[in-house]
Structure 1
Amino acid sequence: MTSPAAQLESALATTIEEKTARGSTGRLPSAQGWHPGARIGATAEIGALLAYNDDGSTGICNLENGSGTWLNTQSEPDARDFTDRPYSVWRWMAAYNGRPACLMGRLAPGAARLELRASDGTVAEADVVDGTFAAEIAVDMVSLRHARERMEADSAEGRAEFERLLADSRTEMTKVKVRVYDTAGALLYDGASINATD
């Protein structure tokens, strides 16, 4: 099952079923009106698919081996905040444990294309669907090379180490640059991928 619509349907069904089984029926996503957006890792071990609903709700489906496994709904008011740049960030993840860095969200009206750029010159074009975007880029984030070992180390400083990893992740992710272009190819934005509020 690799089509975006099938992945979304699978994730929605699983989410509703599992939340209902746990008695969390007050927080069920709407069963109707969802549409697939941009995605990364469509058939990979781990991926993501953005989704939006006719009622204005948004979400991110977790994908595993091509199947949708869960829909995390988003209700943040800044999901469409384009005050500082022509895109909003719904999720970002730094590169660690062999996984690429990723950036997902919504493009502002008039924005048509988004690229991630690493300091070594690597460029990754985002998947763009109905105003949503999802991009991933293989990049060496030096301070995160041994993230797994840092987290698995048995120490009384476990929480402090976790906080340091989060700070390192944010610092490394700001080194990944974003360029956003309009439909005519004009550059709208060239700057850091995330900011302090992402």
Structure 2
Amino acid sequence: MAESLKTILMSALTSKATPAESDTLIVGEGNVLKKISFSQLFTYLKDKLGINTLNTNLGKTARFYAVSNFYVPGSSSDYSGLAIGGNAWSNITGIQYVSATDYKHYYTFPKGTYLVNINLFANLEASTSNVLGVALNIEVDGKIIANPWFRMIDSYQSISYPVIINGSKLKVTMYSGKTIEIVNNVNLSYIDFMRLN
């Protein structure tokens, strides 16, 4: 025996200001009526909007640092790699330092948006001059996105550059007109990553 549906005008229904997660909604799937709870709907919407992934990744950090002192050779034309591969900490799953055969080392990580802070503590005493121009070359996924220049005027000086990147591979190289020393220290010569999405 078929069931008959009791019809009620919407205007006759009482309103509910705050739905509970166990409350249900009626949804149509083709010609069939089904029910879904608010908690199921919220989970579905969070997944569709990427909110669960965002909450999982947001604010994760990693720091790579210079384990030992190294020199950036003076050059008239080429950029040199930076040996900043010691892992101070990381809670970004999948991020790693890759040592390249041409010494132009790089980092790989899950595709996303990151705040990257590059800090190098340089010793100018290795140079014969007390004023020197140096530059960083920042590549993301094989494309140059920044080429900041700095002027060194002290024997010891920090070169610091923050940049927001989007991608899955970062290469940072450095140009110097004369040989300079990058001092090893987890708090002085490092590259920090913070995941933004």
Q: What band does the TM-score fall into relative to the shorter chain?
A: under 0.3
Bigger relative contact order (CA 8 A; separation at least 6): 2
Please give the TM-score of this superposition, normalised by the length of structure 2: 0.27
Q: Which has more strand, going by share of residues?
A: 2
Please give the TM-score of this superposition, normalised by the length of structure 1: 0.27
Q: Which structure would you say has the larger Rg?
A: 2
